[in-house]
Structure 1
Amino acid sequence: MEYRGASAYNDDEFFKNYITRRNREESPNNIIEKPILLELIGNVEGKKVLDLGCGDAKFGSELLKKGCISYDGVEGSENMVREATKNLNGTEGQVHLASMETWNFEADNYDLVVSRLALHYLEELKVLFKKVHKSLTDNGKFIFSVQHPVLTSSTKSAAASSSKTDWIVDDYFNSGVRIEPWIDKKVVKYHRTIEEYYQLLKQAGFMIEDMREGTPRPEKIKSESEYNRRMRIPLFLMFSCKGD
């Protein structure tokens, strides 16, 4: 069975394993992607935030503690929404059970739209990017991370080993479906080149202010061998965009 979008997280076994894996102190999401994303986001005081594919909304809870005045998380998994509701309890944050594609983007409403490692689950981004652009206030920003295209084009290596030492990059310029073995399940993701992400953002009206590939920082990784392994291949691609 192949899982699409948020459906994998409604599998109770997968969800439990994912939460355990995701909350590891040494998770690359925590030691590589998150610090860079927070750097790109900067000061959130007084801002209204929308989080697409918010997961358990722990990130939203953190943004609220940093001073954002409102937080809307959009999440398609019922299991994730229940977890997010617990994490946002007692805050100004809300989580909404909806897919990113069907969410009603209110025009000129958000100062910041964020998305962490969710957009590579979507087949169509062109329309979504335009909706995000429309939803931003003047000087609003869209900041997101996705799985790096080098990884989404190396599924042969993912199928061979869960702890890889070499990566076979193939079929890079052909965008589309990739079936990735992940936490003992098969998950559908969509491969796009860096160029394609860039062009889609420009076509939607965004000005790209910054782009990062998640260069590992030695002070964040305890093991020298793990640091050396993480220096071999990019895991994440991040964009910081401003409504033009």
Structure 2
Amino acid sequence: MVCLVANSEESPTPAADPSRPWLQLAPDYERARAKEDSLDRLVEWPAQRELLGDVAGRSVLDVGCGNGGKLAELVRDGATASVGVDISGNFLSAPPPGLELIQGDLSELDSVPGLAGRTFDRILFLQSFGYAKDPVRTLQAARAMLTDDGFILLTRTQPIRYAVERSERNGTSLGEEYFSTDEFSYRSGWNDDIILTKRAYTISDLINEFSAAGLWIETALEPQLPAEARRRYPHKQEWMNKHLGILIFKLRPRPGH
């Protein structure tokens, strides 16, 4: 869960709506993602794309799509009748035919205009899941929009990353911080003027949320830098060695749910 403090010099105060920071951070994220050494470009998106497989003729819903750039790539690869939803409304100025971009809140996915009665072959939560007010409810709404053979592709930051950063800052052990339930605050790496407040989570927390939403994990992946990128960007490999990167889950509805 993520909250925003507008004034970085004040003491962080959790906001009621965890999606608020994205309204300011969306343009900063897109600029960071476009950099040559972006881990999204080098690690995350290639791994996500591989797990998606052939999307030709498939409909895709990207929940928390940012500007819609990744979904536009899938449409160019043959995805059809695809929709991107993002609260920021900071969308591509000229999306390709077959791509619809809707401003909406992923926490209210079941009431986003334009989605009622629709189903999708692939539903994506690419680092957006942490902005949901009620993660289980959001996943349940997404599950209800899947076609019979559809699946959800969901990525989250490795929780070890936050535990490492908190243990260094607080002078505590890794285990103490990994299992802590306290909220923690830090300056966004995309915009130093914004302080984010998050609720700590563990890998078991994620698994239990998936189960409560009636989903099972078909595939789990922890992608790493390819050898060529390790040589070219040693500073990124150093970061990965310390913080581990991201978790990717391919989720399908449990029978009977």
> Which TM-score band (shorter chain)?
0.7 to 0.9
C-alpha separation in 2, matches of 1:75 and 1:158:
34
Q: Indicate conservation of the 8 Å contact 1:178/1:191, yes or no.
A: yes
Q: Indicate conservation of the 8 Å contact 2:30/2:66, yes or no.
A: no
CA shift, 1:168, in A, is 5.6
**Unpaired segments ≥5 residues, structure 2:** 7-16
Match of 1:41 among 52, 57, 61: 52
Report the residue type matching 1:196 in the other structure: D
C-alpha separation in 2, matches of 1:103 and 1:121:
12
CA shift, 1:145, in A, is 0.8
- Matched with 1:8 is 21
CA deviations on 1:152-190 (whole Å, 9 max, x unpaired) are 334437879xxxxxx966432234633231121102333
- Matched with 1:30 is 41
- Matched with 1:220 is 229
CA shift, 1:6, in A, is 3.9
Between the two proteins, the alignment pairs up a number of residues equal to 231
- Matched with 1:171 is 177
- Matched with 1:19 is 30
C-alpha separation in 2, matches of 1:158 and 1:27:
24
C-alpha separation in 1, matches of 2:182 and 2:92:
33
Query: Which 4+ stretches in 1 moved above 6 angstroms?
Result: 157-160
Report the residue type matching 2:62 in the other structure: D
What TM-score, normalized to structure 2? 0.79
Q: CA 1:107 to 1:172, structure 2 compared with 1: closer, same or farther past 3 Å?
A: farther
Aligned alpha-carbon RMSD (Å): 2.6
What TM-score, normalized to structure 1? 0.83
Is 1:141 the counterpart of 2:151? The answer is yes
C-alpha separation in 2, matches of 1:243 and 1:15:
30
- Matched with 2:12 is none
Secondary structure, aligned partner of 2:125: strand
C-alpha separation in 2, matches of 1:176 and 1:97:
32
Aligned-residue identity in percent: 19
Map 1:194-213; keep pairs closer than 5 Å: 194-213=203-222
**Unpaired segments ≥5 residues, structure 1:** 161-166
